[in-house]
Amino acid sequence: MILLRTILQLEHDVPTRRMDIAHYKQEDLIEMMATLLLELSESNFSTNSLPIDALKDREYESCADSVSLFCAKKAPSITIHAYLTRIFKYCPATNDVFLSLLVYFDRLVVLSGGAVVIGNENIHRLLIAGFTCASKYWSDVYYTNSRSAKVGGIRLQELNTLELHYFSLLKFSLYIRLEELQQYADGLLHWYTKRQQLNGSNNSHEAKIPKTQDNDD
C-alpha cells in the first residue's frame, strides 16, 4: 500500500514554493489532485496489493467489511478529474476541504492497518464520502447528503452508509493541523511542478530527435 505522502516525498523534498491555500486557483488544484490520485491508483494496482480476504489473520480484520462497501463491481467510467470537477462545480467548497481529502486518504490507509487500498474500484466512493465528511467538518455551511449523493452518482442511502463507515475508518480523526495541511499543499505543488517540467523536458528532447530516413543506396 502506497501513501500519498510517499509519492509527494514529504519526508525528503523541501518545496521551493508555498501554496496560498485560501487563494489558489481551484481549477488548477483539482487538476493537480486528480493527477496525483490517478498515479496513486495506478501505483497500487501495479504493486498487486493484498486483497481484503488476504487480511484475515491481521490485526485490522474488522475493517474489511467497511472497506468493501467502497468497492464498485467495476471501475466507474468517469475519470478522477471529471469526478472531482463535477463535485467542485455542483458542490463548491474551499480549497482546504479538497486538500483535506489527501490527508484523510493517508490516514485511512494507516489507521486501517493497510486494509484500505485506494484504487480504481473505490476511489470515486472514497472521494464523495470524504468530501461529504470534510465539508461538514470544515465548513459552516455545507450541502445536504441528498445533493452530494446526486452529484456523486450514488443513492442517498448508500452515501449515508459510506459516510458513517468513512468516519469509522478514520476513527473520527478529522482534525488537521494547519502545518500538516500546508505540508501536503506545498508538497502537491512541488510534485506537480516537477512532473510538468519533466514532461516538458521529455517532449522537448523527443522533438530534437531527427526522423530516420530510408537509404536507397
Q: What's the sign of the alpha-carbon dihedral 1, 126, 120, 33?
A: negative
Q: What is the mean pLDDT of residues 44-68?
A: 54
Q: What is the mean pLDDT of residues 85-111?
A: 96
Exposed (0-12), middle (13-18) or buried (19+): which is 89, by Cβ within 10 Å?
Answer: exposed
Weakest-pLDDT range from 7-21, 80-94, 176-190, 193-207: 193-207
User: Which triple of cell numbers denotes residue 133?
Assistant: 465528511
Q: What is the mean pLDDT of residues 95-122?
A: 94
- Which 8-state DSSP code applies to residue 49? P
Is there a domain that residue 203 lies in? no
206: pLDDT strictly greater than 60: no
Domain count for the chain: 1
Q: What's the sign of the alpha-carbon dihedral 19, 24, 28, 31?
A: positive
Is there a domain that residue 171 lies in? yes
Q: What's 135's domain CATH number?
A: 1.10.472.10
Q: What is the CA radius of gyration of the chain?
A: 19
Q: HSE on the CB side for 33, CA within 13 Å?
A: 28
Is there a domain that residue 42 lies in? yes
pLDDT at 202: 61
CB of 170 within 8 A of CB of 108? yes
Q: What's the pTM value of the predicted model, to 2 decimals?
A: 0.84
Is there a domain that residue 129 lies in? yes
pLDDT tens-digit profile of 110-125? 999 888 999 999 999 9
Calculate what percentage of the chain has a pLDDT beyond 90. Answer: 64
pLDDT at 187: 96
Is there a domain that residue 108 lies in? yes
Calculate what percentage of the chain has a pLDDT beyond 70. Answer: 82
Weakest-pLDDT range from 75-79, 129-133, 144-148, 156-160: 75-79
User: Which triple of cell numbers denotes residue 80?
Assistant: 478522477
User: Which triple of cell numbers denotes residue 60?
Assistant: 485490522
Structural domain for 111, as ranges: 4-13+27-196
Greater confidence, 21 or 51? 21
99: pLDDT strictly greater than 50: yes
Would you report the helix, strand and coil content of the chain in percent, each value rounded to 5? 60, 0, 40
Taking Cα atoms as reference points, which of 151, 142, 146 lies closest to residue 89? 151
Is there a domain that residue 201 lies in? no
- Residue 24's pLDDT band (cuts 50, 70, 90): very high
pLDDT at 64: 58
Helix (H), strand (E) counts: the chain:
9, 0
